[in-house]
Structure 1
Amino acid sequence: MPNLFDAIPDRLDDERFETLVTGEAVRVERIVSRGHTSPTSGWYDQAWDEWVIVLKGEGEVVFEDGEAVRLRPGDHLQIPAHRRHRVAWTDPERDTIWLAVHYPA
């Protein structure tokens, strides 16, 4: 049986994105970070809504308007379409496991 906390490599050079399930209008993915952040040169600007929850570890999402949201296990956040954002920090000492649900705006 698959488990969200399994199959994480010891060495994680890049943030790991894995699609778990897709449907006609939804995509669910597991994201594993270990000190990874978004590129500093730009913002995510998605045409769809996104809901994220941190299952393990910690991360911080920063929005273009300056709002910063620190997420710990169990914390979740809804990001509306075209709200420009980036991941500014994840715990470098342990895995941060996110579950992201992408769906139409």
Structure 2
Amino acid sequence: MNLFDVPDILPEEEQTELLLNGTTRIERIVSSGQTSDWYDQTEDEWVCVLEGEGELEYADGSRQRLRAGDTACLPAHLRHRVSYTSAPCIWLCVFRPAE
């Protein structure tokens, strides 16, 4: 799989599981202008924008703009949502149990 191969038309966000073992999950997420509802996840999450731009909004009202190469660490139960994505925006996400 090439992480940068994306469909020309993407009506919905596309999530592809790249690895799943007992404790860790790695996903590629391709967004094309989609935003999300609020997340309150039980896992820690590390994200990296590989292509495009995205913005995370946190429950305290702060925002974090991510461009290609930028990363963010989201500890479990940090309420957040995706408030903006470019078309396309390719995310690499690693999920693991909270410590």
Residue among 66, 72, 85 paired with 2:80: 85
Mapped to 2, the partners of 1:56 and 1:9 lie a distance apart of: 14
Structure 1 partner of 2:4: 5
Structure 2 partner of 1:68: 63
Aligned-pair RMSD on alpha carbons?
0.8
Aligned-residue offset at 1:56: 0.2
Does 2:41 align with 1:46?
Answer: yes
Does 2:97 align with 1:104?
Answer: yes
Aligned residue for 1:65, secondary structure, equals coil
Q: What per-residue deviation string (whole Å, max 9, x for no partner) do you get for residues 10-67 of structure 1?
A: 111111111001111000000001111013xxx1000010000000000000011111
Aligned residues: 98
Mapped to 2, the partners of 1:98 and 1:48 lie a distance apart of: 17
Aligned-residue offset at 1:9: 1.4
Aligned-residue offset at 1:73: 0.5
Unmatched tracts of structure 1, length 5 or more: none
Unmatched tracts of structure 2, length 5 or more: none
Identity %: 54
Q: Which amino acid aligns with 1:31?
A: I
Aligned residue for 1:87, secondary structure, equals strand
Does 2:22 align with 1:29?
Answer: no
